[in-house]
Chains A and B, each alone.
Chain A
Amino acid sequence: MILETKKLVKEFGKLLATNNVSFSVNQGDIHAIIGPNGAGKSTFFNLITGYHLPDSGKVFFKGKEITKLPSYRRCRLGITRSFQITSIYPKLTVYESILMALLSRQRVTLNLFSSAEKYFREEVWSILEDVGLADQAHVNGDSISHGDKKRLELAVTLGTKPELLLLDEPTCGMSPEETESIMAMIKNLVDKKGLTILFTEHDMGVVFGIARRISVLHQGSMIADGTPEEVRASEEVQKVYLGGAA
């Protein structure tokens, strides 16, 4: 078990965005969180990454409590994330963007006098190859295609060498071909690097195609949790979610 939450609660005014959610993610899994719009997926993500702090409940990472740690500390422990609205560095090159992550990961960022360009050349190129952006290494982040921006964000998160990677709608706004290629890439990363992935996704084809475990959120509560087959078979899930979609 790499991640565990116990009775997490988060309220925004009168809206109960996360209602008593206890769940866990196994090491090396590809775990999806699904649910209709407004089910509380993003809030739940934000509680795990420290973007918001919960009103009550606890979060554990590899057995260590991280409930109140700031985001950067969680990142150093090995949790990082991508955002639903792609979050990259518009005016830095693809190469520089990935370099930022490595500089941070290797803790050399308080070095004031050496030249940053000399660091981690091989590592940056190897990540560029992994995500297929090597030919655009010296292009600015805002000048590449939408699909490539998503890849770039993924590459930047990989630069921090995470153990647990949270992806918020990784295929949002992508064409079917782009979706397929990025999901293949993610699957490859899990197999090759032993990453654990927790992701949210609208596209049920993607979810059932890749996830090994699925949790379903509805109005802030977790109503189902299991293998894709179990979740598909759950009557409650069909009622609130799949029923409408299928």
Chain B
Amino acid sequence: MDIKKSNRKRHLDTLLTATTWTFAVLTLTALMFIVGHILINGVPHLTPSLFEMRWTTENVSMMPSILSTAMMVVITLCLVVPLGMFTSIYLVEYAKKGSRYVKVIRQATEILAGIPSIVYGLFGSLFFVNFMGLGLSLIAGALTLSIMVLPLVIRTTEEALKSVSDGFREGAFALGSGKLRVVFRIVLPSAVPGILAGVILATGRIVGETAALIFTAGTAPNIPQNLYGSVRTLAVHMWSLSGEAFHTNEAYATAVVLLLIVLIINTVAAAIAKALNSGRIK
């Protein structure tokens, strides 16, 4: 019996193994290179002047943008979380399975999820900024972003609601609860971690977004007086800076801050999701 490998076969195996490893290492390298490059060039330039409360053309402080980003996040979440949550409550708890409404809604959210952010920017500038007369403003930006992240919030909340054991629902119904009480007292509290993970993911999207904001919230570098003032979030600030030849170091430093904020947000979301899957939170 001949059980030795033929050379041809062995070559193919080696080739496939080598390619797979190489490409996997390439993926890892790409990430480490991008993150590493920005950290190495940015961290040394994180000077106190970059965190002054007022932006000037000299200090190009990112502090106002950080605060504006926080405002943008809060306002957008205030708009989108209730809306997304109620939508998923409808889809999971109320709608009949396979109803036409559900199909239409699901299709709509899928299309919304696929729309490029620049189209949201375009729409926002047409509808919120001009048609509704909000101007380039915090509120126009937040409204635009809330439509943009709505599909994400709906999907994650839906998953969270679906993962709540039917035993809880049955138990509550059997005790004479109406549907509302079951939803608000039993289902939602159990789904909080999953919903939270979705909200944090949405926060990441908002913080990282640029294209949808340039033509809706504008680029005013300081903190706005009110909802109708133009703002520049950190990502938009990053974009403005990178267009200026004289502020490369500051741009690197700003990139470090933006990158860290987004990475921390995503890591937290991932950690919650992981804990959920492994059943530590239930």
The judgment on whether A and B are partners is: no
* A-to-B contact residues, CB < 8 Å: none
* B-to-A contact residues, CB < 8 Å: none
